[in-house]
Amino acid sequence: MNSTASRALSLAFAGLAATTALVSGIAAPAGAATTAEGAHQSCWVNVDTGETRCFDAALDPLQQIESDTGLPVVAVPTGAAARNAAAPAASAAPAASYILAVVYDGLSYSGASNTYFTSSAGICSGLSYGYASLGAWNDRIQSVDSYNGCTTTLYWDANYGGAAYGPVGSSTNVGNMRSNASSLRIG
């Protein structure tokens, strides 16, 4: 099978898996969604559809999402004050890409990133998004930044097993979990 047909099949499978998982209320593991082609690639994952795109890590991921989707990005950092700010921001931009979390392969939010977002204004209110396997991001995360009232939990093993780090709004250094996370939940 040529690489174009293989990629199309992988993306079709990821979309089917995402649709199946969304019916159950938890986002699907998106193996294709986390396949950065090398260390100089950042990616984004639309948790609603399973769609992913990768781009040069030197580009700003939030600007890239806005450019690729044509929708404004809402990214209010998670924290006590941010939770209050997230509600007005959500109502101000009904058709938007709401950032859930960004994971980085460098300390202090540096290096390549994988950004998870939704178009649901409900964001993390009663919803959680799980990735039982991180694919190309396995054992790669060193820092995490959560947005719009969401928190992120990293797990040592696939399928949410082993030691956990979080839930956390933001962390410039995920400590012993650094370069050891194999699954994550955002909620």
To which residue do tokens 């058709």 refer? 95
* Digit-coded pLDDT (tens) for 4-46: 333 333 333 333 333 333 333 344 334 434 444 556 899 999 9
Q: For residue 47, what pLDDT is reported?
A: 95
Confirm if 73 and 89 have CB atoms less than 8 A apart: no
The CATH number of residue 15's host domain is 2.60.20.10
Higher-pLDDT residue of 177 and 14 is 177
**Coil, strand or helix: which one is 72?**
coil
Average pLDDT over residues 86-93: 51
Helical (H) or strand (E) element with 85: helix 80-92
Closest CA to 100 of 120, 71, 72: 120
Higher-pLDDT residue of 90 and 111 is 111
Number of domains comprising the chain: 1
- Range of lowest pLDDT (29-43, 67-81, 109-123, 160-174): 29-43
Which pair of tokens denotes residue 54? 């990768």
Assess whether the previous peptide bond of 77 is cis (omega < 30° from 0). no
Domain span including residue 80: 3-186
Interatomic CA distance for residues 110 and 117, integer angstroms:
19
Q: Is the pTM of this model over 0.85?
A: no
Helical (H) or strand (E) element with 144: strand 143-146
pLDDT at 113 > cutoff 90:
yes
**Coil, strand or helix: which one is 43?**
strand
Higher-pLDDT residue of 19 and 50 is 50
pLDDT at 176 > cutoff 80:
yes
Closest CA to 97 of 67, 58, 77, 126: 67
